[in-house]
């Protein structure tokens, strides 16, 4: 007679293995899901950061507003938005090259100092009262009645008098502007100033206006 008893231990071992696998499965810890992190601002998209380079022709074709004027007021405010602080820059308009007639315009830029909060935003130009500027801007998307610069700092040109002419120079800062004024040569010849190389648009303002008029 053939006995089947020797095979039973194998069946028992197989069943025992299945039971152990099942126990391990139900006792395994659940896969943890990532916990949402509080927004500290480190990953916020910077408004105007990494803008595409724009030629003067591109700025002129794209801008809804192109104005020459003097900055009369800057006011930083705390707001809810991508940033906690926004600065409102009021410009007394001397000449409108594009856009509707207006005695003044207000440009809204991200960043600034409001009370105890200071927020610096890359690629956003500085504005100071009594500066004369040439601005390329579009209508504000978040604040009706305001303008936004085109191409971040590419939309601001500082106007200075030099060599009997007015020059429009890309955002360079007040310190560099003073160095340019002190330079004995015209701005387009003064390449090395306080360790900064002026590469873009040190041009005569009237020549820029003529170029804009073509577009």
Query: 155-205: per-residue pLDDT in tens?
Result: 999 898 887 889 888 765 566 667 777 777 777 677 665 555 554 556 889
Read off φ and ψ for residue 34, nearest 5 degrees. Answer: -60, 135
**100: DSSP letter:** -
Output the pTM of the full model: 0.67
Q: What percent of the chain has pLDDT over 90?
A: 27
Residue with tokens 């020459």: 68
In the chain, alpha helices (H): 8-27, 56-62, 174-182, 205-213
Please give the Cα distance from 56 to 98 (Å, whole number).
14
Across 60-67, average pLDDT: 93
- The pLDDT assigned to 36 comes to 38
Give domain limits for the chain. Answer: 56-72+92-105+120-213
Please give the Cα distance from 142 to 129 (Å, whole number).
24
Read off φ and ψ for residue 152, nearest 5 degrees. Answer: 55, -125
């Amino acid at each position: 007679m053939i006995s089947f008893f020797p095979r039973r231990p194998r069946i028992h071992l197989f069943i025992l293995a299945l039971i152990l696998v099942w126990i391990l499965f139900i006792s395994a810890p659940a896969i943890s899901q990532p916990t949402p992190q509080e927004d500290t601002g480190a990953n916020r998209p910077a408004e105007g950061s990494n803008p595409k380079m724009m030629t003067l022709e591109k700025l002129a074709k794209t801008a809804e507003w192109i104005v020459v004027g003097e900055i009369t007021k800057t006011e930083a405010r705390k707001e809810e938005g991508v940033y906690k602080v926004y600065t409102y820059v009021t410009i007394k308009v001397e000449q409108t090259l594009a856009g509707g007639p207006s005695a003044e315009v207000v440009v809204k830029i991200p960043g600034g100092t409001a009370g105890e909060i200071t927020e610096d935003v890359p690629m956003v130009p500085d504005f100071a009262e009594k500066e004369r500027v040439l601005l390329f801007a579009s209508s504000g998307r978040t604040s009706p009645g305001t303008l936004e610069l085109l191409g971040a700092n590419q939309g601001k040109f500082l106007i200075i008098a030099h060599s009997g002419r007015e020059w429009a120079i890309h955002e360079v800062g007040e310190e560099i502007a003073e160095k340019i004024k002190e330079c004995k040569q015209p701005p387009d010849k003064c390449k090395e100033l306080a360790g900064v190389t002026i590469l873009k648009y040190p041009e005569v303002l009237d020549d820029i206006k003529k170029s804009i008029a073509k577009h």
